[in-house]
Amino acid sequence: MNKVKNHLLFLLYTVILGMIVGAIVWGFLRVMNLGIDFLWSFLPSQISFPLYTLCVCALGGLLIGLWKRKFGDYPEELGTVLGTVKKTGGYPYRNVFSTLGSALFPLLIGASVGPEAGLTGVIAGLCTWVGDKLKRFKREVEDLTAIGLSATLGTVFRSPMFGFVEPIESDKDTVLPKTSKIVLYFTAILSSLGVFILLNKLFGISVGMESMAAEKTPLVQYLFAIPLTLAGIAAGWLYFLFKKLTGALARRFGKYVVLRAVTGGILLGVSGTFLPLTMFSGEHQIELVMENTEATGAVLLIVTAVVKLLLTNICIDSGLKGGHFFPVIFCGVAIGCAMSLLSGVNAVLCAAVVTTALVGHTLKKPLATVLLLMIVFPPKLIPVMLCASAASRFIPTPKRFLTGFSSKK
């Protein structure tokens, strides 16, 4: 009887946990959007200053550097957070509130990163803290933290299946949780997403990436999926090459946290001044790219995507940290639209295949990649997206793109 009571009580805690996660994610994104509107819509309408973007980014980099020097180099990347939880069964919660600031500030100044990295670190820390306080469920602390992470991912990306699969899919051995735990995972994810949607209906918030409408595509155009997949994989190689270069440069800065962040802010400001679409996470700019593909032109779309791939790594390694999912998705869509202009193939098909190959190559998780991108592209493209994702997973990245430089070189 006590065992059943404990299971029901833990289920109730899971529901409450999911609701709290949904409220935190909504609140974070709400504050982020209000801050971005103030900095990038209201103030520019009041101040006419040609170097506004550069000044905001440079000053923002300075403030972020000072903040990190005091509170530490947070947030950690999503893979690091997940690895820590799997290895230790929890996540440090000493710096939860300072991590919130560290995650929010880069997004406010337009850094080319997404919110998922900061939010997962905060939620993982809070879940571990709650688990430590619930002595009755001491053995379930790791489960509670993992469930909280899944709820966060499922809510941020508005994809319950992605939230469940992403943390457990592995290139070695993917292990499904027991049926009872699967129930807990989806209970938390759905309660989190439910609260997020409710708050959004009541108070409003920018809803993220828009779904693309299905278009009639001649069967012969699907043959272009092969070169489009290769284009996405090539962009993935470029991403890792840039990651290697920016990582090497960041190591040269060493302990000069403030200087590193200011440099990142200046580079962000310069890029944003000449190529505005390289700023921000990119989730809200995808629709702009799709609507203005012909007006933008293939060359500018490719240049924007390449610069954004570089800028995302610059932001992360300079200290303007965040996630890379949204920026990489944007880059895939931009390159796909450029390929559509060059080949005459349907733009949605091109964007879907290139984006899937690019995200799949950087994530190395084929199923999670498709589950993530299902929220953007039409369901009828899922078969070709699965093929592109699988191909991108099994075509390796050249080792010279992955091996770090020595700081002495």
Tokens of 256: 């000069």
Q: What is the pLDDT of residue 405?
A: 43
Higher per-residue pLDDT: 46 or 175: 46
User: For 333, how many CA atoms within 13 A lie in the half-sphere containing its CB?
Assistant: 28
pLDDT at 330 over 70: yes
Question: What gap in Å lies between CA 90 and CA 14, rounded to an integer?
Answer: 16
User: Whose CA is closest to 178, among 20, 366, 7, 368?
Assistant: 7
Tokens of 122: 């905060």
CB 62 within 8 A of CB 261: yes
Span 231-254, pLDDT tens digits: 999 999 999 999 999 998 888 887
Q: What is the pLDDT of residue 207?
A: 60
* Average pLDDT taken over every residue of the chain: 87
Span 283-317, pLDDT tens digits: 888 989 999 999 999 999 999 999 999 999 999 99
Question: What gap in Å lies between CA 232 and CA 397, rounded to an integer?
Answer: 12
The mean pLDDT value for 143-160 works out to 88
The DSSP secondary structure of 218-267, one letter per residue, reads -GGGGGGHHHHHHHHHHHHHHHHHHHHHHHHHHHHHTT-HHHHHHHHHHH
Q: What is the pLDDT of residue 109?
A: 96
pLDDT at 70 over 70: yes
User: Whose CA is closest to 329, among 309, 308, 359?
Assistant: 359
Q: What is the pLDDT of residue 255?
A: 81
pLDDT at 384 over 50: yes
Q: Read off the pLDDT band of 406 (50, 70, 90).
A: very low
Q: Read off the pLDDT band of 181 (50, 70, 90).
A: confident
- Distances, alpha carbon 206 to alpha carbons 41, 78, 92, 190, 392, in Å: 15, 23, 31, 20, 31
pLDDT at 144 over 60: yes
Question: What gap in Å lies between CA 358 and CA 308, rounded to an integer?
Answer: 13
Q: What is the pLDDT of residue 82?
A: 82
Question: What gap in Å lies between CA 130 and CA 93, rounded to an integer?
Answer: 10
The DSSP secondary structure of 342-387, one letter per residue, reads HH---HHHHHHHHHHHHHHHHH--HHHHHHHHTTTS-GGGHHHHHH
Report the largest interatomic distance among the alpha carbons of the chain, rounded to a whole angstrom: 70
The whole-model pTM stands at 0.91
Q: Peptide bond preceding 75: is omega within 30 degrees of 0, i.e. cis?
A: yes
The mean pLDDT value for 363-377 works out to 92
Tokens 């090459």 identify what position? 241
Higher per-residue pLDDT: 109 or 208: 109
Tokens of 78: 């999503």
CB 85 within 8 A of CB 124: yes
CB 321 within 8 A of CB 75: yes
User: Whose CA is closest to 324, among 338, 308, 336, 335?
Assistant: 308
Query: Taking CA 244 as the corner, what is the angle to CA 243 and CA 250, rounded to the nearest 5 degrees?
Result: 85
The mean pLDDT value for 197-223 works out to 80
- Distances, alpha carbon 86 to alpha carbons 89, 119, 141, 275, 320, in Å: 6, 17, 12, 40, 26
With a pLDDT cut of 70, the percent of the chain lying above it is 91
Q: Read off the pLDDT band of 87 (50, 70, 90).
A: confident
With a pLDDT cut of 90, the percent of the chain lying above it is 55
